[in-house]
Amino acid sequence: MALGEFELIRRFFENPGEHSESTIIGIGDDCAVLQCPPGMELAVTVDTLVEGVHFLPDVDPESLGHKSLAVNLSDLAAMGAEPRWLTLALTLPTADENWLKAFARGFFALAKQYRVDLVGGDTTRGPLSVSVQAMGLIPAGQALKRSGAEMGDSIYISGVLGSAGLGLKVRLGESSVAAEDAIRRLEKPEPQVRLGQLIRGIASACIDISDGLAADLGHILSASGVGATLQYEKLPLTTEVLAWQEATGDLSLPLMAGDDYELCFTVPRNAESLLNLRLLEQGLKAYQIGRIDQEPGLRIYRHGQKVGLTSKGYQHF
């Protein structure tokens, strides 16, 4: 690399912002040293984005910087965690300064928004891939899990579905409907960090939608040992997704397409008024789309008719 490894780390990734007091040692030593406050538990997640698998080779590096962090913050949100620290493992074919500058801009804009510290990482040469590890804090015993949904619970979704899937179709040249909003949602998803913390103590189960509603709600159902019935008409959809459905007759995007990074969670009936109060107080939204029932599996109705499901969302193997 023309730009040396250590120079690269210093220029683009070291201390661009202020660090919180709980970051005792950040970038520059052999390990980061972090302080977990008493009464809190540490939530840890890692996600890798690989060129050609998770993003197209011509992706805008600023969007990639945003998205590689957003998908991890979304996992923390799904557990009800408050994001605190990050590590970043970058594998780069070349040290292209313009590329790195744009990547860092997207990455740190989102990191700053949630006041998370980048405290370490790894930099190697090879085919482009980005791994971000995110760490967050949860009051002891309050993590939101996939298990815990019970018969009668309402199923909620935090926002629109199928838009990222439509954005991908546009990027791949498979759709000609106008879809600026869909592309923005595909490339710059907004993790539901505040909502995840708001539903702690209210939701009985929670997951973030990375592989499609059918697949991810399916994980809640199997972890909880229950089934569910959804009302398709209740799914929040953008006008762009509605236009796509109108043009193609394809109803599968909101159920099967991945990358939306909304939260799907279940709420016992007796906690729904508290949910609505908190949402109102915080200016956040969630949409009730169905109910947990006893019969295993997922049933979806649209205008009283059953909608067939053919595949199970995105799977790597």
Provide the binding-site residues for ligand ADP, judged by CB under 6 A. 9, 13, 27-30, 88, 90, 118, 120-123
The site that binds Mg ion (CB under 5 A) totals a number of residues, namely 1
Select the binding partner of residue 107 from Mg ion, ligand ADP, none (C-beta < 5 to 8 A, by kind).
Answer: none
State in angstroms the smallest separation of the CB of 30 from Mg ion: 4
Contact status: 281 vs Mg ion (CB under 5 A)? no
Nearer to ligand ADP, 120 or 254 (CB): 120
Element at 241 (helix H, strand E): helix 239-248
Nearer to ligand ADP, 20 or 231 (CB): 20
3-state secondary structure (DSSP) of residue 38? coil
Give the shortest CB-44-to-Mg ion separation in angstroms.
20
Q: Of ligand ADP, Mg ion, none, which one does residue 120 interact with (CB within 5 to 8 Å by kind)?
A: ligand ADP
Binding part of the chain for Mg ion, among 30-38, 56-64, 121-129, 241-249 by CB under 5 A, reads: 30-38
90 binds, among ligand ADP, Mg ion, none (CB under 5 to 8 A by kind): ligand ADP
| DSSP string computed for 167-200 | HHHHHTT---S--HHHHHHHHS----HHHHHHTT
List the single partner that 121 binds among Mg ion, ligand ADP, none, CB under 5 to 8 Å by kind. ligand ADP
* Cβ-based nearer residue to ligand ADP, 131 or 163: 131
**Which CB atom, from 101 or from 278, has the smaller least distance to ligand ADP?**
101
Tokens of 23: 């970051």
Nearest CB to ligand ADP, comparing residues 90 and 235:
90
> From Mg ion, ligand ADP, none, which one binds at residue 118 (CB under 5 to 8 Å depending on kind)?
ligand ADP
Select 32 or 228, whichever has its Cβ closest to Mg ion: 32
Separation between Cα atoms, residue 194 and residue 73, nearest integer Å: 11
CA distance 290 to 226: 13
Nearest in space to 232 (alpha carbons), one of 170, 166, 157, 293: 157
Residue nearer to ligand ADP on the CB measure, 122 or 174? 122
Question: What's the min distance (Å) between Cβ of 57 and ligand ADP?
Answer: 21
CA angle 313, 210, 65 (to 5 degrees): 135
CB of 31 to Mg ion, least distance (A): 8
CB of residue 88 vs Mg ion: minimum separation in angstroms? Answer: 16
Contact pick of 30, 58, 246, 281 for Mg ion (by CB under 5 A): 30
CA 16, distance to chain mean position in Å, is 24
Place of tokens 């006008």: 239
What's the closest the beta carbon of residue 121 comes to Mg ion, in angstroms? 12
Residue 152 touches which of Mg ion, ligand ADP, none (Cβ within 5-8 Å per kind)? none
Count how many Cα atoms sit within 13 Å of the Cα of residue 119 in the half-sphere of its side chain: 24
State the Cα–Cα distance between residues 269 and 150, nearest whole angstrom. Answer: 10
Q: Is 156 helix (H, G, I), strand (E, B) or coil?
A: strand
Which positions ≥6 away from 28 have C-beta within 8 Å? Answer: 14
Shorter beta-carbon distance to ligand ADP: residue 9 or 70: 9
Burial of residue 278, with CB atoms counted within 10 A of its CB: 0-12 exposed, 13-18 middle, 19 or more buried? middle
Q: Is 58 in the site for Mg ion (CB under 5 A)?
A: no
Cβ-in-10-Å burial (0-12, 13-18, 19+) of 190 comes to middle
Structure tokens at 159: 């926002």
Provide the binding-site residues for Mg ion, judged by CB under 5 A.
Answer: 30
